[in-house]
Amino acid sequence: MEPRVEPRDEPTGPAHGPARGVEARRGAADALVGRLLDGRYRIGGRIARGGMASVYEATDIRLDRTVAVKVMHPGLGDDDDFAQRFVREARAAARLNHPHVVGVYDQGDDDGTVFLAMEYVPGHTLRDVIRKESPMAPIRALALLEPVVSALAAAHRAGLIHRDVKPENVLIADEAHGGGVKVADFGLAKAVSADTQHTATGGVLIGTVSYLAPELVVDGRADARADVYAAGVVLYELLTGRKPHEGESPIQVAYRHVHEDVPAPSALHPELPAYVDALVARATSRDRTQRPADASVLLHQIHRVSQALREGVTDDPELTADLRPVAPYVHDEDEETGEDTTPEPFDPVEMANLSARLQPPPGDPRAEIVDDGHTTAFDRTAVTAVAAPPARPVAGPPDVRRPSAPAPVVTNARKRSVKGPLALLLAVLLVAALGGGAWWLGWERYTVTPGVLGVDAATASAELDKAGLDAEEGDPRYSETVAAGLVLGTDPEPGDRVLDGGIVTLVLSLGPERYEVPALAGMTEDQAQDALAQGNLGFGESTEKFSDTVPAGQVLRTQPRAGEVLKPDTPVDLVVSKGRRPIEIRDWTGEDAEEATAALERRKLVVEVTGEEYSDTVAEGDVISQNPTVGPLYKGDTVQLVVSQGPELVEVPRVVAMGVDAATERLESLGFQVDVENSDNYIGVGFVFSSDPSAGTMAPKGSTITLYLI
């Protein structure tokens, strides 16, 4: 069966937009609604339905939580090989512990009903955001795309390719649930689409036409760069509000992906910086060798562009040149003349070939055609079937291809003709020669690639040498299961045919992929996030703490700490300085100086008594003045206090027997107030008989001395 593209399921998380209510009402007649799967999942209303499976809101009665359950259509679940691939890739997707990936909780088979239990994400999809907000500012578009690409980067490092990146598969939780962005259907596309035509899925290629990379359309083979292409198309759609390639039918859209570049977004919105155009062009290059190698590289480029946008840079020629593809891509070039032979749009012969092969086999349970979403089933090989001269006929066996009947001739009965037997002999010899040549060209000169997985390079080379093959080392890859230095894979794969004396490329394992947490202390938060991305680690969350030594906005430490070795894309939390902790103080004027000093020193402030002064109004030992009187202050700052000595004391002089005027003058010169009264023995002489306080007593300056006259 020739490979086709079929519709993917709708988003598997519960954030499925307005259609959810309609699907839930339809679910009333669904036999699965109300059923208890695997003795654990009570199936509720249907959330979404696609070409391969339906998604239901369900209750996990064991943990008492709401989940989304994806149930494979019976026509697919009955295929054991297909179901096994589905399960295998679902398990791989479940290992993706990433904040922007819809979590896979469980997988099971309940009496032939193959299902997945996944995280329930109430909210909406990126498609809803595009409808409401697009075209949007580039800083907003990249903020929405960044968590998507971060999730793809985690998948690519785990060896998974999404293959159906589109706004419908990006779920955005509502504000009540944190508003997080999550990517759905991770790994499931790979579960139902192999790299060759001979698979349990009948060579069906899964994808949505509007986001299919050209190589997926042409030959169905994809790597991480197909996801990068789809992410670039999504970015174009966020920036412009429209898809880059449109047509009256899905087949026209597929054709344009192969033969037309994605337009520059600035063609519709001239205000966009050139480096934003360059980012879109690099991600959506038809030549996949010019795209970012995977989503991790694209994520770094997004960070660079976002930083330029945040800084208000309108033109950055260096960044633009760095991002723009090296040269225009020519899809179909004549190797001898160098002449560009790319067909004009909608070449009639090619379009006819595509249309002829568009219809899927009757009764195929996956064969839905959704025109408005450009999700369809079609023969991917038809895209390359351009106009070409008819193939030359090949001679076949005599019972297949007979020579033309000779014209009647006059013969002599006494002479036997040898033309007939001779022609037959020549035909037999020709068939034998052709068969022998075909046997040699198609089989005999080939050998089978030996299995050398799990051994070191030297052992593998020796085994290949015994088989008459040469070995060369290709690009190594990380592996969680194969030890470093051992053979992880070969090209051709074990069991595949290879020419005698041919070369087998060995892919050696680098062992588990691990990265050290970089030393981020002292960096700004933006610099630290960029360093984590460059170090193939993820950014978790930031918390702020006061620091008396690190300026505000700089990283204090990380969790896990610097130097720890982590798996790729593991989230690393940052502790960021809020600067010095402010200290609020109150005015201690008029209160006990010792208490004030103790309270201020407990708050890590330095107390300095700048002086002691007499005061007629402030009691001795209390604070006369304070500087400063209000905060905020910071640890180690100084507070100055002036402390009262109380009123100044003066000795009362002896004024007995002095005239009242002289006595009064002397007391007032010392700062006393004078009050005159007649004593009990007053006889009118006018001299001082006694004083209160008496002579020699220490009295506060300014206090009143009473003179008693005789």
- Number of helical (H) and strand (E) elements in the chain, helices listed first: 18, 29
Q: Which residues pair with 369 in a beta bridge?
A: none
Q: Decide if 574 is inside a domain.
A: no
In this structure, what DSSP letter does residue 611 have? E
Give the residue-averaged pLDDT of 229-245.
Answer: 96
Give residue for tokens 């030393």: 519
Instruction: Give the whole-angstrom CA distance, residue 149 versus residue 389.
Output: 44
pLDDT higher than 50, residue 530: yes
Q: Are strands 606-614 and 623-627 parallel, antiparallel or unpaired?
A: unpaired
pLDDT of residue 87: 74
> Rounded to 5 degrees, what angle do the CA atoms 242, 247, 250 make?
105
Please give the mean pLDDT across all residues of the chain.
79
Q: Average pLDDT, stretch 642-663?
A: 90
Residue 128 has pLDDT above 80, yes or no: yes
Containing structural domain, residue 612 = 593-646
Under DSSP, the state recorded for 451 is -
| Residue 366 lies inside a defined structural domain of this protein | yes
- Among 165-174, 360-369, 663-672, the minimum mean pLDDT is found in 360-369
Q: Per the structure, how many domains does the chain have? A: 4
Which letter does DSSP use for residue 124 in this model? E
Percent of the chain having pLDDT more than 90? 44
Residues facing 181 on adjacent strands:
172
Q: Is the pLDDT of residue 365 over 80?
A: no
Nearest to 126 by CA among 85, 170, 179: 170
Residues 655 and 705 in one domain: yes
- Tell which wins on pLDDT, 274 or 364: 274
Stretch 421-429: mean pLDDT: 66
What is the pLDDT at residue 27?
39
> Collapsing DSSP states into helix, strand and coil, what is residue 505?
strand
How confident is the model over 549-604, as pLDDT tens digits?
Answer: 999 999 999 999 999 999 988 999 999 999 999 999 999 999 999 999 999 999 99
The pLDDT of residue 361 is 46
Range of weakest confidence among 232-246, 372-386, 664-678: 372-386
The confidence score (pLDDT) of residue 653 equals: 93
Q: Is residue 70 part of a domain?
A: yes
The enclosing domain of 340 has a CATH number of 1.10.510.10
Q: Are residues 159 and 182 both part of a single domain?
A: yes
Predicted local distance difference test score (pLDDT) of residue 72: 84
Amino acid at 147: P
26 in Cβ contact with 46 (< 8 Å): yes
| Average pLDDT score over residue span 502-511 | 90
487: buried, middle or exposed (CB in 10 Å: 19+, 13-18, 0-12)? buried
- 371 shares a domain with 298: yes
CB 269 within 8 A of CB 239: yes
Residues 123 and 92 in one domain: yes
Over residues 149-183, the pLDDT tens digits come to: 999 999 898 888 888 899 999 999 887 777 789 99
**Who contacts 549 (Cβ-Cβ below 8 Å, separation ≥6)?**
none
Same domain, 141 and 35: yes
- Of 508, 538, 553, which closes a domain? 508
Angle at 65 between CA 60 and CA 66, to 5 degrees: 85
The whole-number pLDDT of residue 436 equals 56
What mean pLDDT comes out for the span 518-537?
93
pLDDT of residue 203: 41
Statement: residue 26 has pLDDT above 80: no
Question: Within this chain, do residues 336 and 451 fall inside the same structural domain, yes or no?
Answer: no
Whether residue 314 contacts residue 171, with contact meaning beta carbons closer than 8 Å, is answered with: no
The pLDDT of residue 78 is 57
Q: Which stretches within 170-223 are classed as H helix?
A: 188-191, 214-218
Residue 464 has pLDDT above 80, yes or no: yes
- Whether omega for the bond prior to residue 551 falls within 30 degrees of 0, making it cis, is no
Share of the chain above pLDDT 70, in %: 74
pLDDT at 195: 37
Mean pLDDT is lowest, of 303-312, 521-530, 621-630, 678-687, for 678-687
Instruction: Look at residue 619 and tell me whether its pLDDT is greater than 70.
Output: yes
The whole-number pLDDT of residue 466 equals: 87
Instruction: Please give the Cα distance from 261 to 243 (Å, whole number).
Output: 12
Please, which residues bridge with residue 118 across strands?
68, 104
> Which among 458, 477, 508 is the end of a domain?
508
Q: Estimate the crossing angle of helix 126-133 against helix 138-157, to 10 degrees.
A: 160
Three-class SS state of 573: strand
Given 472, 493, 508, the domain boundary residue is 508
Q: What whole-number distance in Å separates Cα of residue 97 and Cα of residue 186? A: 11
In a domain, 297, yes or no: yes
pLDDT > 70? residue 524? yes
Residue 362 has pLDDT above 70, yes or no: no
The residue type at 696:
G
253 plus 288 within the same structural domain:
yes
Give the number of C-alpha atoms closer than 13 A to the C-alpha of residue 147, restricted to the C-beta side.
21
**pLDDT tens digits, one per residue of 366-382:** 444 333 443 433 333 33
- Within 10 angstroms of residue 486's Cβ, the number of other Cβ atoms is 19
Structural domain includes residue 222: yes
Q: Please determine, for residue 37, whether its predicted confidence score (pLDDT) is greater than 90.
A: yes
Q: Write down the pLDDT at residue 264.
A: 97
Instruction: Exactly one of 164, 185, 261, 530 is catalytic; name it.
Output: 164
- Examine the domain organization and report whether 331 and 372 are in the same domain: yes
Long-range contacts of 680-683 (CB under 8 A, 24+ apart): 681/710, 682/709, 682/710, 683/710
Of 4-18, 353-367, 545-559, 657-671, the poorest mean pLDDT is in 4-18
**306 shares a domain with 217:** yes
Continuous segment of H or E residues that includes residue 118 = strand 113-119
Amino acid at 91: R
Do residue 627 and residue 666 come from a single domain?
A: no
Q: How far apart are the C-alpha atoms of 444 and 461, rounded to whole Å?
A: 23
**Averaged pLDDT for residues 448-460:** 86
Instruction: Decide if 164 is catalytic.
Output: yes
Does residue 474 share a domain with residue 348?
no
Is the pLDDT at 210 greater than 80, yes or no? Answer: yes
Is 389 within the bounds of a domain?
Answer: no
Beta-carbon contacts of residue 335 (< 8 Å; ≥ 6 apart): none
Comparing 387 with 92, the larger pLDDT belongs to 92
Residue 583 placed within a domain: no
Average pLDDT over residues 382-389: 34
- How far is C-alpha 709 from the geometric centre of its chain's CA atoms? 101
Categorize the per-residue pLDDT at 491 as very low, low, confident or very high, splitting at 50, 70 and 90: confident
Output the pTM of the full model.
Answer: 0.50
The predicted model gives 54-83 an average pLDDT of 83
Amino acid 349: pLDDT: 58
SS3 403: coil
Q: Lowest-pLDDT range, 42-51, 274-283, 424-433?
A: 424-433
Task: Tell me, yes or no, whether 341 and 258 share the same domain.
Answer: yes
Q: What is the CATH number of the domain that holds 455?
A: 3.30.10.20
Q: Quick one: pLDDT band at residue 446, thresholds 50, 70, 90?
A: low
Strand, helix or coil for residue 641? strand
Cis peptide before 135, with omega less than 30 degrees from 0? yes
Helical spans, DSSP H, in 492-648: 525-534, 593-602
Does 547 map to a domain? no
CB 607 within 8 A of CB 586: no
Sign of the Cα torsion 587, 592, 594, 599 reads: negative
Strand partners, 48: 55
Q: Are 577 and 542 in contact (CB under 8 A)?
A: no
Q: Are strands 65-72 and 113-119 parallel, antiparallel or unpaired?
A: antiparallel
Q: What is the mean pLDDT of residues 284-289?
A: 93
Q: Is the previous residue joined to 365 through a cis bond, with omega within 30 degrees of 0?
A: no
Average pLDDT over residues 63-91: 76
